[in-house]
């Protein structure tokens, strides 16, 4: 049976996330426009900086910070952020695009997605950030939990 476009791109997300260097959660993102991949991203430290694995662990874990809180203490960029940044570096517009990601975006990423012109977000894992969901809805961005299809 042939995969739908959403299924196809979510499978690619699963491969992209394997590049993640985060010790807490592997996240992958793919930005797509007209059924063509514009860019990908995964969560990890900025280019040319040491990853948490090289520094002996995760600062947020060491401090006991719950998931979804105190993002500023994290050394890594989120997958969505890296995908948007890569699109900008390559000169690819994200206006009108769809983001595929294995975890529902946080509020920081939601704000970036809104301003990047993303019109649809397809995800499969829940994330404890109701403000992010509310902002995406207020902005008119379609969100699809692929597990509920």
Contact 38, 97 (CB under 8 A): yes
Distance between the two ends of the chain, CA-based, in angstroms?
Answer: 17
* 9 phi/psi in degrees, rounded to 5: -70, -30
Catalytic residues: 80
Q: Where are the alpha helices (DSSP H) in the chain?
A: 5-16, 52-55, 59-63, 79-90, 107-115, 130-138
Rounding to the nearest 10 degrees, give the CA dihedral for residues 32, 77, 110, 16. Answer: 30
d(Cα 45, Cα 47) in Å, to the nearest integer?
Answer: 6
DSSP one-letter code for 45: P
d(Cα 21, Cα 77) in Å, to the nearest integer?
Answer: 10
């Amino acid at each position: 049976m042939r995969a739908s476009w959403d299924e196809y791109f979510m499978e690619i997300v699963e491969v992209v996330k394997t590049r993640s260097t985060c010790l807490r959660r592997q996240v992958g993102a793919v930005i797509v426009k007209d059924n063509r991949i514009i860019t990908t991203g995964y969560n990890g430290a900025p280019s040319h900086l040491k990853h948490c694995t090289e520094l002996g662990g995760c600062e947020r874990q060491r401090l006991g910070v719950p998931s979804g809180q105190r993002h500023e203490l994290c050394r890594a960029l989120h997958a969505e952020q890296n995908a948007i940044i890569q699109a900008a570096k390559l000169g690819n517009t994200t206006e009108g695009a769809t983001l595929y990601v294995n975890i529902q975006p946080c509020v920081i990423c939601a704000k970036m997605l809104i301003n990047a012109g993303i019109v649809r977000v397809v995800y499969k894992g829940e994330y404890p950030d109701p403000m992010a969901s509310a902002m995406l809805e207020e902005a008119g961005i379609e969100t699809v939990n692929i597990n509920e299809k």
